[in-house]
Amino acid sequence: ITILGIETSCDETGIAVVRDGELLADVTATSMDEYARYGGIIPEIASRAHLQTMVPTLDAALEKAGVELSEIDAIAVTAGPGLIGSLTVGVSAAKALALALDKPLYGINHIIGHLCVDELVDGPFPEHFIGLVVSGGHSSILRVGNIATDVEELGGTLDDAAGEAFDKVGRLLGLPYPGGPHIDRLSKEGDRDAIRFPRGLTAGKDKVRHQYDFSFSGLKTAVARYVEGLEDRGEEVPTADVAAGFSEAINDVLTMKALNACETFGYDTLVVGGGFSANSRLRELAAERAAERGITVRIPPIRYCTDNGAMVASLGYELVRNGIEPSGLGITVDTGMDLNKIVMR
């Protein structure tokens, strides 16, 4: 079975070809370079960029895979969550291809794709596992059985996503956009125990009621207050220590709650995905703590953590392999697609 995967939920145009669970090609174009001067993504610019890069990216992916369009058995495309204009360009292109080739179309959930891409690298998933998806828009813990049919969101962030919090604190520390990778780099030069920042929803009633939820906006405020306090007194801000302490607070909570879910459900595998899973401290801490508890952690290489076509093709392959009914050509996009939903109907 040969699957074409198309990803356009945000600023990356990603196109990939997966054949029988093997990745043949994965090509990505991005409009991210345009946003540094705005300090954030401009949706209209991203939509137009997808329109410009769609066909060249498709041609490059097919050529790299050594596959003709006529050999494609099914088309998978991100139907949500994401930016409405960006999603619309990808879904429209996928509909046109499905119609022209007379092949089934699957509108898939981008967040489930962030987990599913790991199969292409680390092999088939176990019978069940806990998924931690951490990205620019999401920080959620999921219980996953068969990834084509059985996904349940156990909890998620009540306010900011992990990547979003990093980007906001990056701005606060005067780092370029997106701040995530910059804070990651800076935090390696700092002392992670120098400043203790709050860990949201980990104590008292919240710990019980919000077992699998996160809250990072209080942390963000605490960092802002700390930095402003020093500036008001005319003292120098120890940026590396702030970055390290802030990063530690987020990664401490993420890894603790995800591994607790593994233990509660009796699952021996944690799969981590999404742009924020590129974070070096998250990888380190997850590996360290999982080893202590006898849990296996699977995190794909960094190029498959950020948005790409391979994640879409991988989930598309699972859907076809499991005999799931296609979405059909009538689908629209869903900017806030529910994480319990794998395929768009």
* Binding site as annotated, residues for substrate: 133-137, 167, 180, 184, 279
Residue of 133, 136, 101, 93 lying closest to 116 (CA atoms): 133
Nearer to ligand ATP, 104 or 200 (CB): 200
Residue of 265, 339, 323 lying closest to 110 (CA atoms): 339
CB pairs under 8 A, 24+ apart, for 144-150? 144/115, 144/271, 146/322, 147/112, 147/115, 147/116, 147/119, 147/315, 147/318, 147/342, 148/315, 148/318, 148/319, 148/321, 148/322, 148/324, 148/342, 149/322, 149/324, 149/342
Query: Should residue 214 be labelled a site residue for ligand ATP when binding is judged by CB under 6 A?
Result: no
By rule CB under 6 A, what count of residues binds ligand ATP? 24
Nearer to ligand ATP, 285 or 320 (CB): 285
Q: Residue 129 binds which entry of ligand ATP, Mg ion, Fe ion, none, with Cβ cut-offs from 5 to 8 Å by kind?
A: none
Nearer to ligand ATP, 181 or 245 (CB): 181
* CA dist 118 → 67, 78, 144 (Å): 23, 17, 13
| CB of residue 114 to Fe ion, shortest distance in Å | 6
Q: Residues of 217-229 as b/e, b for ≥16 C-beta within 10 angstroms? A: eebbebbeebbee
Calpha distance 193→200 (Å, rounded): 17
The two beta strands, 129-134 and 269-273, are parallel
Query: Should residue 315 be labelled a site residue for Mg ion when binding is judged by CB under 5 A?
Result: no
Query: Should residue 274 be labelled a site residue for ligand ATP when binding is judged by CB under 6 A?
Result: yes
Binding-site sequence positions: 110, 114, 133-137, 167, 180, 184, 279, 307
Sign of the dihedral defined by the CA atoms of residues 271, 141, 158, 292, in that order = negative
Q: Using CB under 5 A, which residues numbered 293 to 312 contact Fe ion?
A: 307
Binding track over 285-314 against ligand ATP, x by CB under 6 A: ---------------------xx-------
The two beta strands, 105-109 and 74-80, are parallel
Query: Should residue 157 be labelled a site residue for Fe ion when binding is judged by CB under 5 A?
Result: no
Query: Should residue 180 be labelled a site residue for ligand ATP when binding is judged by CB under 6 A?
Result: yes
Q: How many CB atoms lie within 10 A of CB 345?
A: 10
Query: Should residue 279 be labelled a site residue for ligand ATP when binding is judged by CB under 6 A?
Result: yes
| CB of residue 152 to Mg ion, shortest distance in Å | 25
Nearer to Mg ion, 10 or 15 (CB): 10
**Contacting range for ligand ATP; rule: CB under 6 A; set: 42-50, 222-230, 269-277, 291-299:** 269-277
Query: Should residue 307 be labelled a site residue for Mg ion when binding is judged by CB under 5 A?
Result: yes
Which single residue is written with the structure tokens 């702030």?
242
Instruction: Note the residues at the interface with ligand ATP (CB under 6 A).
Output: 9-10, 81-82, 110, 135-138, 163-164, 166-167, 178, 180-181, 184, 274-276, 278-279, 306-307
Instruction: Note the residues at the interface with Fe ion (CB under 5 A).
Output: 135, 307
